């Protein structure tokens, strides 16, 4: 009885400490304010419109360099200062530009965003390659993903050159034409640097953005800065059998075994679930912005509530839950070509995203063990490990926070785990740090349209994005 009483008192004490910490944490708000300069916003939108009007859908196994060179030509007209002062390199349609700085011995930086887009299917409000400007927005495929990024840093350099500014180090602008298909565009740009023995100080890419209401219970707009990417994997799980006629089926046919395998993984995720320092940093930073008191209490007292949060996170946010473990999603399936034939072979493919504490090899080993129960074979199609993490105490993250604070006053900067894939993963090992942040504000609805129908952004988000890249360039003068 005494032991039970002691345990109860300890629980009460811990809860009281957590409660006091929560009550003492001041409530904060994070807001984004677009540009008040209507004319500047419109001028920028009209430039971006011309870039959107060049259709740059990428396709696997197709040489489309000439298509992208059409966009290069448009950009040369839109940014005359850049292409008259800077050196241009056309790497099979992938575009690299070098703006020479005062000290070429100083480590350079590169600003990157890709030129290719995904296909535009379905019925759109406005034609997807029109770049229509209406309702304070610019509409079209690539407006958010990610020609707005390309436009913004080119415009930033264009204006700095016009001002007579010369950067302290070389500034590179890099844009692949194969990001959406995971192609060899970015690796060709990286090879250009490695062939010349150039190691970059900093890569600025997409990955995070200024996002509305990132987690349930948290309201506002937040600068979500991606600090690393989960690993990527496409795998195939194959079942073999004797085949036969469907009128006299045997048990455990290839498709039935695949179904059992898929059902087991869907019902019980086999992967480790745990916090990373990045996730800790994200939730602690978000704590003062929680509208719900109990959620705030959990986020600012992770030392106590982590076990609970690991259980409830999927209900709070599937995106946040994906930051806690390796994920697997079944994507394609093939069996017989006839309705009445049992296949001799069937397969399902899956896309996996590996978390650093359970990388590619260990995650696939987990899947193989389950597959063995159902006599299935697992083969790797396209796999890569997670990238290294941005140092939250390093110069590059400090510069990012400074630029955000100056250009977007009142906006919170939140470290974020990128669950998708970007070109910056190819720079891993060739650069001191990768910052994955696109300085474009987007609503939840606009974010959902990124690869869907009616992709658009507000035009008043463009001037601040240009100013952000200017500030990142100027901040190189403060490097140690």
Digit-coded pLDDT (tens) for 90-144: 999 999 999 999 998 999 999 999 999 999 999 999 999 999 999 999 999 999 9
Mean pLDDT of the chain: 94
pLDDT at 310 over 90: no
pLDDT at 215 over 90: no
Contact 446, 125 (CB under 8 A): no
CATH 3.40.50.920 fits 38-229+387-478, yes or no: no
pLDDT-based confidence at 316, cuts 50/70/90? confident
The pLDDT of residue 104 is: 87
Question: What integer is the mean pLDDT of 451-474?
Answer: 98
The pLDDT of residue 244 is: 87
pLDDT at 480 over 70: no
Question: What integer is the mean pLDDT of 343-348?
Answer: 96
Cis omega (within 30 of 0) on the bond before 55?
no
pLDDT at 154 over 70: yes
Report d(CA 56, CA 117) in Å as an integer: 6
The pLDDT of residue 10 is: 84
pLDDT in tens, 400-446: 999 999 999 999 999 989 988 899 999 999 999 999 999 999 999 99
User: In this structure, is the dihedral angle defined by the CA atoms of residues 408, 413, 417 and 419, taken in order, positive or negative?
Assistant: negative
Contact 360, 383 (CB under 8 A): yes
Identical fold for domains 38-229+387-478 and 231-267+328-385, yes or no, is no
User: In this structure, is the dihedral angle defined by the CA atoms of residues 279, 285, 286 and 292, taken in order, positive or negative?
Assistant: positive
Task: At 28, list the tokens.
Answer: 């904060």
Give the 3-state secondary structure of residue 49. helix
Shortest CA distance to 425 belongs to which of 235, 230, 145? 230
pLDDT at 277 over 90: no
Report d(CA 61, CA 181) in Å as an integer: 10
CATH 3.90.1150.10 fits 231-267+328-385, yes or no: no
Report d(CA 389, CA 357) in Å as an integer: 12
pLDDT-based confidence at 257, cuts 50/70/90? very high
The number of C-alpha atoms within 13 Å of 76 and in the hemisphere containing its C-beta is: 15
| Domain ranges for the chain | 38-229+387-478, 231-267+328-385, 273-324
Higher-pLDDT residue of 79 and 60 is: 79
pLDDT at 2 over 90: no
The pLDDT of residue 309 is: 87
pLDDT-based confidence at 250, cuts 50/70/90? confident
Task: At 300, list the tokens.
Answer: 């600012």
pLDDT in tens, 362-404: 999 999 999 999 999 999 998 889 999 999 999 999 999 999 9
The pLDDT of residue 463 is: 98
pLDDT at 145 over 80: yes
Higher-pLDDT residue of 6 and 433 is: 433
């Amino acid at each position: 009885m005494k032991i039970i009483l002691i345990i109860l008192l300890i629980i009460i004490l811990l809860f009281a400490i957590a409660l006091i910490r929560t009550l003492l944490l001041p409530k904060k708000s994070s807001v984004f304010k677009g540009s008040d300069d209507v004319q500047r916003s419109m001028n920028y939108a009209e430039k971006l419109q011309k870039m959107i009007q060049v259709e740059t859908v990428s396709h696997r196994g197709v040489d489309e360099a000439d298509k992208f060179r059409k966009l290069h030509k448009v950009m040369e007209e839109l940014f005359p200062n850049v292409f008259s002062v800077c050196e241009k390199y056309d790497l099979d349609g992938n575009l690299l530009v070098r703006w020479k700085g005062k000290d070429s011995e100083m480590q350079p930086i590169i600003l990157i965003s890709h030129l290719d887009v995904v296909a535009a299917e379905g019925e759109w409000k406005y034609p997807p390659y029109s770049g229509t400007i209406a309702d304070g927005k610019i509409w079209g495929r690539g407006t958010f993903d990610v020609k707005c990024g390309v436009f913004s840093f080119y415009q930033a350099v264009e204006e700095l050159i016009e001002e007579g500014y010369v950067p302290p180090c070389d500034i590179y602008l890099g844009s692949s034409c194969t990001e959406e298909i995971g192609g060899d565009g970015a690796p060709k740009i990286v090879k250009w640097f490695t062939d010349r023995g150039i190691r970059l100080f900093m890569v600025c890419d997409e990955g995070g953005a200024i996002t509305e209401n990132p987690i349930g219970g948290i309201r506002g707009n937040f600068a979500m800065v991606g600090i690393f990417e989960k690993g990527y994997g496409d795998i195939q799980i194959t079942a073999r059998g004797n085949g036969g006629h469907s009128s006299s089926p045997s048990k455990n046919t290839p498709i039935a075994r695949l179904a059992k395998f898929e059902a087991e993984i869907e019902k019980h995720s086999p992967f480790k679930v745990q916090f990373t320092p990045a996730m800790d940093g994200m939730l602690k930073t978000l704590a003062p912005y929680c509208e719900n008191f109990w959620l705030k209490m959990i986020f600012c007292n992770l030392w106590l509530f982590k076990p609970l949060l690991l259980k409830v996170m999927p209900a709070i946010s599937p995106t946040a839950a994906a930051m806690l473990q390796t994920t697997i999603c079944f994507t394609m399936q093939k069996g017989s070509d006839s309705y009445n034939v049992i296949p001799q072979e069937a397969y399902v493919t899956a896309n996996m995203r590996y978390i650093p504490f359970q990388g590619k090899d260990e995650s696939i080993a987990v899947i193989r063990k389950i597959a063995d129960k159902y006599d299935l074979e697992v083969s790797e199609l396209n796999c890569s490990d997670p990238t290294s993490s941005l140092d939250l105490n390093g110069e590059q993250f400090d510069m990012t926070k400074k630029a955000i604070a100056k250009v977007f006053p009142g906006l919170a900067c939140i470290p974020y785990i990128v669950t998708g894939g970007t070109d910056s993963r190819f720079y891993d090992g060739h650069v001191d740090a990768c910052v994955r942040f696109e300085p474009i504000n987007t609503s939840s609805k606009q974010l959902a349209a990124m690869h869907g129908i009616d992709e658009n952004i507000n035009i008043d988000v463009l001037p601040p994005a240009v100013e952000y890249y200017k500030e990142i360039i100027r901040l190189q003068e403060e490097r140690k």
